[in-house]
Amino acid sequence: MNPSIQSLKKTLRKQLRSRLKLVSPATVAAECNIFISMDGEIETRPIIEDILATGRSCYIPRWQHDTMEMVRLTSLEDFKALPLNAWNIPEPRHDEPRENGS
């Protein structure tokens, strides 16, 4: 990757982390849709853990062919038990019934 782009991404990540720390819990949504990050992306696992720890509903993508649906995680244990998909990202199994949020 171009060093200039890497530098810009690093700066953006730092800015986002600073902004996220300023968000008041009172302004946070009761339901959240979020992706599970891959290597090289902004790390979303701590955000997912916080969503679940604070009792909010958390929906993550589940892909099947060309279709994506947002499905609910039920707990932190549920999140940690997700199998890895072909891209090494935790994703619920396709044959497992899940509450759909999309």
Q: Where are the domains of the chain?
A: 29-80
Q: How far apart are CA 83 and CA 30, in angstroms?
A: 26
pTM confidence score: 0.70
Q: How far apart are CA 57 and CA 90, in angstroms?
A: 18
Are 46 and 21 contacting, i.e. CB atoms less than 8 angstroms apart? no
Question: What is the full per-residue pLDDT of the chain (102 aa) written as tens digits?
Answer: 688 888 999 999 999 989 888 877 656 688 899 999 988 898 999 999 999 998 899 999 998 888 899 999 999 999 999 999 988 899 999 999 998 985
Contacts of 45 (CB under 8 A, 6+ apart): 36, 37
